[in-house]
Amino acid sequence: MYDLHLSAEQHEIRDTVREFVTNEIKPVAIKPARMESLDRRPPADILLKAAQMGLRTLALSEPLGGAGADGITACIVAEELAAGDPDVAAVLVETSALSHVLFDQLMSPAQRERFLPAFIKDDAAQLALAAHEPDSDTELGVNYHRAVPVAPATNCAATRTPTGDWIINGTKSFVPNAPLATLFAVQVRTDPKAPAGQGISTLLVARDTAGMTVRELDQNAGWYHGLRGDVTFKDTRVPADQLLGDEGSSPLAAGLEALGRGLPLVQAMNIGIGRAAYEAAVDYARIRVQGARRIIEHQAIGTLLAEIAIRIELARTMVWKAAWAADHPAAVAERSVTDLPLQTIARVYTAEAMHQAALDAAEVFGAMGVMRDMPMHKYVQDALIFLHSGMSPGDGKLRIAEAIAEFRRD
């Protein structure tokens, strides 16, 4: 039965995180170097405090020590954190999502026993999924509606030793959380003969494994939020029983998003940026006087603010719908929600709409909208990063178009 009431827990966590953001994150976020994007590294103490509040393990089930948050709750938290600081948000959101996927969904009991206690105990421990490789491209564009695989090639390879252990060689690039992660899920090719996108396995690799090096990337040269690193494996030996799932059919082959819990968390963060810009613009429009009236009383500014509000409301509504649908996959078959890819719809709309929202909000500020020591320019830049990293709106539309045509690339 249709019901849009948030639960008491959802209200509570929203209030709690918002307060945390106001008291702990905002004072850091408005530091000049951070606003000017010279140092966007998430401060360790903030990450620790957030972990102590349970935000690092938000999606991990309660029996395993997490908060067992559902998809909408995770989106609420992601939005609130990003409204304060998207780089802090990106680290926590990634670990939280992976904690559920790895510990609740994919690990064997023995693997869980080996890795969970250390992860729970150490509030600074983050998780990483090493999937992306240098120069990889889905090639969705050129292969739109063509029956060829569009999975990027996996060159990072693992071979078995006679004892069954694995030897990994290769490089993963732009791995989120790599500089902070204590445990990596690494996508490796274990069947050298399989076509692209197949014959892939996932290995669990602890940070201190010999032959593995992590190079933190310069955040400001990159085009992402949070911290990322390149991870290189040189004859890295991983015990046989650290294979996650079955050999040659990685449960993470299609990326984190394609799992049952593939949640629009990045989009929720993106909304956080739009909302921060919007709230700043409304506050300013309520005090700035021009033509002897507060500018919010001018039709032109009022219309601009209304357009931003409409976009945010639409984006959040769609993101929450996609989040709920991810938690309730059966809803598609019983036709309560569309069979088009909702997360992609949410992604395309949110990226474009929040970018416009940030630009429009900056317009309200006049010249102050382009100054590096004011937050507006950073909201615009953050929105651009969301718009132009990961799957582009253009590729998103092609993916939706393939679904409309009921084209399946198997």
Partner 1 sequence: MDFSLNDEQREWQQKARKFAEEDIRPVSLARDRILDPRETWDWDLFKKGSQLGFRTLAVPKAYGGPGADFVTQALVMAELARGDSAISKAFSQNWKWSHLIASACSPEQKQRFLSAFLADDTFVMGKGITEPNAGSDNRLPPEDEVRAGVRLKAERRGDEWILNGEKCFIANGNIGKLFFLDARSNPNASLKEGVTMFLIPRDTPGFRSGKVFNKSGWRFYQNAEMIFDNARVPHANVVEQTGGQSRLDKSERTGGDLFGDLELAANALGVCMCACESALKLTRSRTQGGKPLLEQQAVQLKLGRMNMLTEALRSYVLRVAWEHDQKLPSTNAGFVMNFSTDVIQEVTQINMDLHGAAGFTMDALANKLVRDGIIWTHLAGDAVQRMKVVRRMAKATG
Please report the beta strands in 226-272, taking only residues with DSSP state E, as ranges in sequence order. 228-238, 243-244
Q: Is 340 in the site for its own copies (CB under 8 A)?
A: yes
Residue 167 interacting partner from partner 1, its own copies, none (CB closer than 5 to 8 Å by kind): none
Q: Which two structure tokens, joined as six digits, stand for 158?
A: 């693992």
Q: Name the residue nearer to its own copies (CB basis): 227 or 387.
A: 387
Instruction: Say if residues 343 and 320 touch (Cβ distance below 8 Å).
Output: no
Residue 366 interacting partner from partner 1, its own copies, none (CB closer than 5 to 8 Å by kind): partner 1
Binding mask 251-270 for its own copies (x = CB under 8 A): --------------------
CB of 388 to partner 1, least distance (A): 3
Residue 208 interacting partner from partner 1, its own copies, none (CB closer than 5 to 8 Å by kind): none
Cα dist from 32 to 26, 39, 270, 335, 372, whole Å: 12, 9, 22, 50, 8
CB of 151 to partner 1, least distance (A): 13
Residue 208 Cα to chain centre, angstroms: 25
Instruction: Say if residues 130 and 89 touch (Cβ distance below 8 Å).
Output: no
Instruction: Say if residues 381 and 37 touch (Cβ distance below 8 Å).
Output: yes
Q: Name the residue nearer to its own copies (CB basis): 302 or 366.
A: 302
Residue 325 interacting partner from its own copies, partner 1, none (CB closer than 5 to 8 Å by kind): its own copies
Say which amino acid occupies 337. V
Q: Name the residue nearer to its own copies (CB basis): 62 or 122.
A: 62
Taking every pair of C-alpha atoms in the chain, what is the biggest distance, in angstroms? 82
Q: Name the residue nearer to its own copies (CB basis): 288 or 372.
A: 288
Report the C-alpha gap between 238 and 173 in whole angstroms. 20
Chain contacts with partner 1 (rule: CB under 8 A): 36, 38, 132, 136-137, 139, 141-143, 174, 221-224, 228, 290-293, 298-301, 303-304, 359, 362-363, 366-367, 369-373, 377, 380-381, 384, 387-390, 392-395, 398
Binding mask 267-296 for its own copies (x = CB under 8 A): ---------------x--xx---------x
Instruction: Say if residues 344 and 396 touch (Cβ distance below 8 Å).
Output: yes
Q: Is 360 in the site for its own copies (CB under 8 A)?
A: no
CB of 135 to partner 1, least distance (A): 9
User: Between residue 295 and residue 324, which ones bind its own copies under the rule CB under 8 A?
Assistant: 296-297, 299, 301-303, 305-307, 309-310, 313-314, 317-318, 320-321, 324
Q: Name the residue nearer to its own copies (CB basis): 196 or 331.
A: 331
Q: b/e per residue, 186-215, with b = 16+ CB within 10 A?
A: bbbbbeeeeebbbbbbbbbbbbebeebebe
Which of 5, 121, 193, 408 lies at the binding interface for its own copies (CB under 8 A)? Answer: 5
Helix axis angle, 265-287 to 342-364, nearest 10°: 20
Tell me the chain's radius of gyration from C-alpha atoms: 22
Query: Which residues sit opposite 213 in a β-bridge?
Result: 232
Q: Name the residue nearer to its own copies (CB basis): 148 or 404.
A: 404
Report the C-alpha gap between 348 and 380 in whole angstroms. 17
CB of 288 to partner 1, least distance (A): 9
Per DSSP bridges, beta strands 293-294 and 166-176 are unpaired
Residue 380 interacting partner from its own copies, partner 1, none (CB closer than 5 to 8 Å by kind): partner 1
Which of 31, 145, 215, 234 lies at the binding interface for its own copies (CB under 8 A)? Answer: 145
Could you please report the per-residue DSSP string of 127-159?
A: EEEE---TT----TTTTTT-SS--PPP---EEE
For its own copies, the binding residues (CB under 8 A) are 1-7, 10-11, 72, 141, 144-145, 282, 285-286, 296-297, 299, 301-303, 305-307, 309-310, 313-314, 317-318, 320-321, 324-325, 328, 331, 334-338, 340, 342, 345, 348-349, 394, 396-398, 400-402, 404-405
